[in-house]
A and B are shown apart, each in its own frame.
Chain A
């Protein structure tokens, strides 16, 4: 997550420096738009996918689930993993094909600076691949907990606790 924190800081500094250069020195950076949009923001998003799932950052509607017992809540976790797995496996695989195509054909973005597109495209399979691994781990943990009756993968805390929010 150090990488993600660094990306966050870099985005802020690059955009601020860009505005500063435009108004004060009258020489804006030509690369801000592509650099931030193509690499920094994509990196920020895809590389934090898995960690956000770990800290239970992906919001869900837990109004029904919070009334369930531990077994029901585990089933809810299992359903969530099963819903996420096919989608993110597919995105990871298709993203990998696209990144590989871009790499083989040496695809670049038209413009003043020839940014290679594979470096951006490859973030998709990396980020989604990591999420798929975590989902598999999570799934296995909850299934094992259900079978053995032991608390192998702990259940999350209830509503209103330390949640991420945008509101």
Chain B
């Protein structure tokens, strides 16, 4: 009964537009008060905020956010699309494929898909439209390619899942790599299909001489260095994810300085922006742990797990339902809110069904990618629409084929867990 009242309060506050962290903290406190009185509330409020913050692994979040902003500031990724299009531009729909490749490359050094979508929208979108690509298709491929950043190492989203689920963050980050390749291939195949359907959507472009191709490849080398600095060190076990993230941010800072983009004003702006982002994320985690304490104290999680465990259905039906639920939630809620609200309940359930939590994390993030491009609040579509100065509805229509393709990709990942789990099982250390 208390649980229902508390959940009702939570959803009422969320619907009223209260910040997610505030809503979770307040409703959690109300629940704790009902369950154990003021001493319990006071005990939780006195210890939770400071102990949540004093976790060393949490540093990964500010460092990845900082790295993303610094990469954006350095402009180092602007050449990525030019290089990719020189290599694959001749294939039907080549510029669209180059966008997907550039999205993957950018995602490997930048942990936020919004930053990635913004970069792609300002570099590859104008190039495609200049070449006579159908604007709807061009915008769609930009919006979806930006989401690859969530799946590749340096992904802030994966780190948040790792912190909430208490799994090995290094392994989690590495396990996103092969699924990200699969998703990149999915995007490219979708483009191929669209162009096959109607070749006028993507006029072919002129070929680029080989010498120039290699020259362009050389210009993207700083990104390879950054990528190996972070992912390489994690994979080989040389550095912890925390250390690797600081390395990445430092490397991005050096790159930005070398390219002459750093002034005291831009540096300060970047640092404060990353600090605000960190504060937002950490406060939500604090709110979630207050709320989570209430859930644990009242045995709600165990009850749900027990109830589902007693159901006479296949575990594949349950996981399919959960994933469908995530796609629906993702269309109208922020991904971080979804993560903190659901992971504490869904994860014990997943474990009790015998699924691997790391595998689930990666799949959850792929559903989050889908959420970034589904109306009404698919954030990436808004960003692309703003940069391209086109109506959002057009971008949403352009992402529709990719939505279908992504659902297929999710099904493949669910059916073959090895795709996710093979690489982390071969990690160093």
Contacts of A84 in B (CB 8 A): 18-19, 22, 26
A8, B112: Cβ atoms under 8 Å?
Answer: no
A57, B54: Cβ atoms under 8 Å?
Answer: no
Contacts of B257 in A (CB 8 A): none
A57, B276: Cβ atoms under 8 Å?
Answer: yes
B50, A55: Cβ atoms under 8 Å?
Answer: no
B20, A167: Cβ atoms under 8 Å?
Answer: no
A11 and B62 CA atoms in complex are apart in Å by 9
Considering only CB atoms, which chain B residue lies closest to A38 in the complex? B54
A16, B280: Cβ atoms under 8 Å?
Answer: no
Is B17 part of the contact surface with A, judged by Cβ < 8 Å? yes
Name B1-55 residues within 8 Å CB distance of A: 13-23, 25-26, 29, 41-42, 45-46, 49-50, 53-55
The minimal Cβ–Cβ distance linking A19 to chain B, given in whole angstroms, is: 5
Is A108 part of the contact surface with B, judged by Cβ < 8 Å? no
How many chain B residues sit at the interface, stated as a range, is 35 or more
Which of B59, B63, B377, B379 gathers the greatest number of chain A CB atoms within 10 Å?
B59
Which of A8, A59, A167 gathers the greatest number of chain B CB atoms within 10 Å?
A167
Is A27 part of the contact surface with B, judged by Cβ < 8 Å? no
Is A133 part of the contact surface with B, judged by Cβ < 8 Å? no
The minimal Cβ–Cβ distance linking B191 to chain A, given in whole angstroms, is: 23
A79, B13: Cβ atoms under 8 Å?
Answer: yes
Contacts of B272 in A (CB 8 A): 1, 4-5, 48, 51
A16 and B252 CA atoms in complex are apart in Å by 13
Is B390 part of the contact surface with A, judged by Cβ < 8 Å? no
A166, B46: Cβ atoms under 8 Å?
Answer: no
Contacts of A94 in B (CB 8 A): 42, 45-46
The interface stretch among B209-217, B296-304, B307-315, B329-337 is B329-337
Is B234 part of the contact surface with A, judged by Cβ < 8 Å? no
The minimal Cβ–Cβ distance linking A156 to chain B, given in whole angstroms, is: 10
A61, B59: Cβ atoms under 8 Å?
Answer: no
The minimal Cβ–Cβ distance linking A124 to chain B, given in whole angstroms, is: 6
The minimal Cβ–Cβ distance linking A131 to chain B, given in whole angstroms, is: 9
Considering only CB atoms, which chain A residue lies closest to B114 in the complex? A165
Contacts of B41 in A (CB 8 A): 90
A120 and B54 CA atoms in complex are apart in Å by 10
Contacts of A61 in B (CB 8 A): 14-15, 17, 20, 332-334, 337
The minimal Cβ–Cβ distance linking A97 to chain B, given in whole angstroms, is: 8
A60, B19: Cβ atoms under 8 Å?
Answer: yes
Considering only CB atoms, which chain B residue lies closest to A8 in the complex? B271
Contact residue among A46, A77, A80, A160 (Cβ-Cβ distance under 8 Å from B386):
A160
Contact residue among A37, A52, A86, A163 (Cβ-Cβ distance under 8 Å from B26):
A86
Name A1-55 residues within 8 Å CB distance of B: 1-2, 4-5, 7-9, 11-13, 15-16, 18-19, 23, 33, 36-38, 41-42, 44-46, 48-49, 51-53, 55
Contacts of B246 in A (CB 8 A): 11-12, 15-16, 19
Considering only CB atoms, which chain A residue lies closest to B284 in the complex? A59
Which of B280, B337, B379 gathers the greatest number of chain A CB atoms within 10 Å?
B280
A87, B26: Cβ atoms under 8 Å?
Answer: yes
The minimal Cβ–Cβ distance linking B265 to chain A, given in whole angstroms, is: 11
B379, A160: Cβ atoms under 8 Å?
Answer: yes
Is B66 part of the contact surface with A, judged by Cβ < 8 Å? yes
Is A71 part of the contact surface with B, judged by Cβ < 8 Å? no
Which of B17, B25, B335, B379 gathers the greatest number of chain A CB atoms within 10 Å?
B17
B17, A166: Cβ atoms under 8 Å?
Answer: no
Query: A16-B243, A90-B29, A167-B150 provided; 18 other pairs, C-beta below 8 A?
Result: A5-B271, A8-B271, A16-B250, A41-B58, A44-B279, A49-B283, A52-B276, A52-B279, A52-B280, A58-B280, A61-B332, A63-B376, A90-B41, A95-B50, A128-B49, A164-B280, A166-B336, A167-B113
**Could you name 5 residue pairs across A and B whose Cβ atoms are closer than 8 Å?**
A16-B243, A18-B243, A44-B62, A65-B16, A167-B147
